[in-house]
Amino acid sequence: MKILKSTFALLILFQVSSVCSQTQNFLERPYLETAATYTTEVTPDRIFLNITISEKDTKGKKSIEVIENQMVTALNSIGIDTKKQLSVADLSSGFKKHLLKRKDILKSKKFVLVVYDAKTMAQVAIMLERKNISNISILKTEYSKLETLKIELRGKAIIKAKKQAASMLKPLNQNLGKAIYISDTGSAQNALLRRRNVGSNSYSFSNMQDVDIAHIRVQVAVVVYFEIL
């Protein structure tokens, strides 16, 4: 057992030494380090909405079950597949005062609805408003092909890095060699909601048909070492 442990330790040490040696070897050659980013914007194809229905909105005249059925019917009427796109987020009973009688308890229920474009989002807001359901806000937006897009952008960032490196060597009358080190230094994406004719941005609003969904901004960054010939 001791012999096996010793052999394993020596193997690990040899591999670490080999990696360090290779790193030193390529860094001993003349090289140029350059960093590049590549940014693009895409239109979100998944918009997640928070919808809250409450008996309070009807002053207790309609049960939570009736309101829910009306909401589902309204969504189905504009082409929403509620079985796939609508899910329950939370079920709660709210107390305005802690000494209320049980018959005075007004229930509320939260849902998450996913739609695939801003036009449908506006249709949802208009239709639900007609049903006196106005407690709607945007939870998040997504682009379903984000990871595939990042792979494409990394390739473009490397091409950009190569052009940068070549332009740096041109005044020196030196030539750019092959890439000897490449590192993906990260990526980022963010989305911005804009209300028309309003200066501030918000993820929660009372009139959703007056909201534009901005593109999602996606950025990747790379570092490349090129050999100098």
pLDDT tens readout for residues 209-225 = 455 677 899 999 999 99
Q: Any idea which of 48-62, 113-127, 140-154, 164-178 has the lowest mean pLDDT?
A: 48-62
The number of helix segments (H) and strand segments (E) in the chain equals 5, 7
Give CA angle at 182 (179, 184), nearest 5°.
155
Higher pLDDT pick, 113 / 1 = 113
**Chain CA centroid to CA 47, Å:** 11
Residues 6+ apart with CB under 8 A from 65: none
Residues 6+ apart with CB under 8 A from 220: 37, 38, 150, 153, 154, 157, 184, 186, 187
Instruction: Using DSSP, state whether 69 is helix, strand or coil.
Output: helix
Intervals of CATH 3.30.70.120 along the chain: 46-142
Q: What is the mean pLDDT of residues 159-175?
A: 95
* Percent of the chain residues past pLDDT 90, beyond the cut: 48
Global confidence as pTM: 0.69
Q: pLDDT tens across 137-156, in order?
A: 888 899 999 999 999 999 99
The one-letter amino acid at 188? A
Q: What is the mean pLDDT of residues 39-58?
A: 89
Model pLDDT, residue 107: 83
Model pLDDT, residue 15: 53
Intervals of CATH 3.30.110.170 along the chain: 30-43+145-228
Q: pLDDT tens across 17-34, in order?
A: 444 555 556 567 889 999
131 DSSP assignment: T
Residues 6+ apart with CB under 8 A from 60: 106
pLDDT category of residue 102 using cuts at 50, 70 and 90: low
Model pLDDT, residue 171: 94
Structural contact between residues 44 and 140, judged by C-beta atoms closer than 8 angstroms: no
Model pLDDT, residue 196: 41
Mean pLDDT for the chain overall: 79
Residues 6+ apart with CB under 8 A from 213: 43, 44, 47, 118, 121, 141, 191, 193
Which fold, 46-142? Answer: Alpha-Beta Plaits (3.30.70)
Higher pLDDT pick, 61 / 36 = 36
Residues 6+ apart with CB under 8 A from 39: 153, 217, 218, 219
CATH 3.30.110.170 fits 30-43+145-228, yes or no: yes
Q: What is the mean pLDDT of residues 47-76?
A: 88
Checking if the pLDDT of 45 tops 50, the result is: yes
3-state helix, strand, coil in the chain (%, to 5): 40, 40, 20
Q: pLDDT tens across 191-205, in order?
A: 655 544 333 333 444
